[in-house]
Amino acid sequence: MAESKKGLGGITNRVLDILFPPNCIVCGKERFWCCQNCLDAIECVNRDPCARCGSLKFDHECKEIYSPLSTTYYLDGLVAMTFYHNPQFRRLLHGLKYKYATCLIPSVSQIMNRYKNQRLDPWPWAGESRLALQAVIGSPKRIRSRGFDQAELLRDLVKEEFLPWAETVSLLDRRPSIQAQADLKPGPLRNANVRGAFSLKDVGAAELPKRVVLVDDVFTSGATMFDAARALRSAGVEKVYGLVLAIGA
């Protein structure tokens, strides 16, 4: 993937950009897929959200109490790079999902790079010697209609930018969802829509990684990511971290 982006695929894209100059997906400025002004307007998150509810408040005391009997499984750490409410980011994400995925990869890489350079805190997984990167895969129908899965695309970018030493894994299956998550308001209905959506592929116990970082585009209610974490945990994964491009309702 990295090869094709930076190698032949990158050259083809550059040639196409010269022949058919793009317009910034946000502001329409010529010659850019996402211009520097619009990219600069996407600010980075400066602290890690609560791994149980996504709160970014400074003195947050979480009311989501973990209990072994609970059917909800939280994360062992959560990292979010930008804010979902940012209008420039929303346009960029929309483009990434629906139309111009490969053209916008350099813009997303730039955001990741800026986040990495600004981050001062240790990563939640600091000290882990082995990590596996798993995408929070989309529903089969969605992947078929788009021809790719943006969560897997982001997982590959995360590996390139943050965790080149981590192993990429494909442990999860996702059953078709009843309704697209984005169409449902956060709440019980949305949580019910994803509960049990993920199951583990048939991997031997010896091959099952003990520490997994789940990668997704956006964390809103957390329902999808928690459900993926539940599937991994119940199979024997000991720690599950989350890494998302953006956070917010």
Give the list of residues 6+ apart from residue 119 with CB closer than 8 angstroms, or none.
Answer: none
- Candidates 59-67, 73-81, 167-175, 191-199; binding stretch for Zn ion (CB under 5 A): 59-67
Residue type for position 197: A
- Nearer to Zn ion among residue 64 and residue 160 (C-beta): 64
Positions in 151-190 near Zn ion (CB under 5 A): none
Q: Is 237 in the site for Zn ion (CB under 5 A)?
A: no
What separation in angstroms does the CA of 69 have from each of 65, 72, 88, 199, 218?
A: 11, 9, 41, 20, 27
Least distance from C-beta 167 to Zn ion, angstroms? 30
The end-to-end CA distance of the chain, in Å, is 31
Rounded to a whole number of angstroms, the minimum distance from the CB of residue 59 to Zn ion is: 11
In the region spanning residues 7 to 36, those forming contacts with Zn ion, defined by CB under 5 A, are 24, 26-27, 29, 35
| Residue 50 is a binding residue for Zn ion (CB under 5 A) | yes
Question: Which span (43-51, 143-151, 157-165, 237-245) binds Zn ion, by CB under 5 A?
Answer: 43-51
Question: Which amino acid is it at 230?
Answer: R
With contact defined as beta carbons under 8 Å apart, do 186 and 222 qualify?
no
Q: Is 94 in the site for Zn ion (CB under 5 A)?
A: no
228 touches 172 (CB < 8 A): yes
Contact residues: Zn ion, CB under 5 A: 24, 26-27, 29, 35, 38, 50, 52-53, 55, 62
